[in-house]
């Protein structure tokens, strides 16, 4: 594993977003599991099966966080008999999160971790075979800037897999739980917005993505997109 750091400018508006993830990564992982159940209302293996389908030869894990979810995604791919990527780049702007990822992947020579803003990716055009954004799109302070950059660095044949947190839906009880958990996440600054499927799809299309497939499970909108 190698690491690289582009420390965000202290006065940057993104600094606030990165600061929201200053808790230790092990605590993030435990809390994240309950957030997943309470607000996304999708079982973790459903998420893992989704993202494990999109691991190309040169893979970008956008907003890798503590790395635990990527490690589980790679494990899922391995036990289902698929080919693992030759090279993985994990980008995140939160130092604390990356610290956890560095520890986790310290023996993985093909995983390169970069502390940077996804709105400004220091990789060439048409570079990646696959990009996953897991549990993060709704946390991006500037989602259009990120989509524009991802579009630039993706190969024309690459796919982008994303799970987007929707405004709570379903029965009263389910909605009440999700609303409560979301309130906590907004307060912590780890959630920027909840989304609705039509606007999100239009947002991808206006950033020159072709939404190949999309579906809803629980409060989660799954998107599979390619460059249009
Ligand atoms: C909810 S966490 C998800 C992390 C990981 N993908 C997972 O599933 O556990 C969201 C992550 O997005 C990162 N993030 C948000 N906006 C970002 C940006 N513009 N550039 C880089 N990282 C960003 C945060 O630092 C945080 O680690």
Q: How far is CA 28 from the centre of its chain?
A: 14
Domain that includes residue 101, residue range: 14-227
Distance CA 191, CA 148 (A): 21
- Say whether 227 sits in a helix, a strand or coil: strand
Task: List, for residues 100-129, the tens digit of each pLDDT value.
Answer: 999 999 999 999 999 999 999 999 999 999
Task: For a ligand 1 pocket test, name from 36, 88, 92, 189 the mutation site with the most ligand atoms within 8 angstroms of its C-beta.
Answer: 92
| 199 domain-assigned | yes
Please state the φ and ψ torsions of residue 202, each to the nearest 5 degrees: -65, -35
What is the average per-residue pLDDT within 171-183?
92
| 33 domain-assigned | yes
Distance CA 92, CA 97 (A): 8
| 5 domain-assigned | no
Q: How, if at all, do strands 128-133 and 154-165 pair?
A: parallel
| 181 domain-assigned | yes
| 124 domain-assigned | yes
- Asked if 100 contacts 68 with a C-beta cutoff of 8 angstroms, the reply is yes
Atom of ligand 1 nearest to the CA of 68: 9
Task: For a ligand 1 pocket test, name from 51, 63, 73 the mutation site with the most ligand atoms within 8 angstroms of its C-beta.
Answer: 63
CA–centroid distance, 102 to ligand 1, in Å, is 15
Task: Check which CATH number belongs to the domain holding 119 and give it.
Answer: 3.40.50.150
What is the average per-residue pLDDT within 187-194?
92
> Taking the model in full, what pTM does it have?
0.91
What is the average per-residue pLDDT within 172-198?
92
Our count of domains for the chain comes to 1
Residue of 209, 138, 206, 208 lying closest to 168 (CA atoms) = 138
Helix (H) or strand (E) holding 216: strand 209-217
| 3 domain-assigned | no
- Say whether 5 sits in a helix, a strand or coil: strand
Pocket of ligand 1 (CB under 6 A): 14, 17-18, 21, 32, 63-66, 69, 91-94, 97, 117-119, 134-136, 139-140, 146, 190
């Amino acid at each position: 594993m190698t690491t690289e750091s582009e420390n965000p400018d202290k006065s940057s508006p993104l600094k606030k977003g990165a600061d929201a993830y200053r808790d230790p990564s092990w605590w993030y992982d435990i809390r994240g599991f309950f957030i997943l159940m309470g607000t996304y209302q999708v079982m973790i293996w459903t998420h893992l099966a989704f993202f494990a389908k999109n691991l190309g030869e040169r893979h970008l894990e956008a907003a890798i966080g503590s790395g635990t979810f990527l490690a589980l995604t790679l494990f899922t791919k391995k036990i289902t008999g698929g080919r693992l990527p030759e090279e993985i780049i994990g980008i995140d702007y939160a130092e604390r999160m990356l610290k956890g990822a560095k520890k986790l992947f310290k023996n993985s020579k093909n995983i390169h971790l970069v502390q940077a803003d996804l709105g400004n990716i220091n990789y060439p055009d048409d570079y990646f075979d696959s990009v996953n954004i897991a549990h993060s799109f709704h946390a991006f302070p500037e989602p259009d800037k990120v989509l524009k950059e991802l579009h630039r660095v993706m190969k024309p044949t690459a796919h982008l897999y994303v799970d987007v947190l929707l405004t709570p839906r379903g029965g009263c009880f389910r909605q009440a739980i999700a609303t409560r958990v979301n309130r906590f996440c907004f307060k912590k600054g780890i959630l920027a917005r909840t989304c609705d499927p039509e606007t999100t799809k239009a947002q991808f299309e206006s950033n020159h993505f072709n939404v190949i497939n999309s579906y809803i499970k629980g409060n989660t909108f799954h998107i599979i997109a390619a460059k249009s």
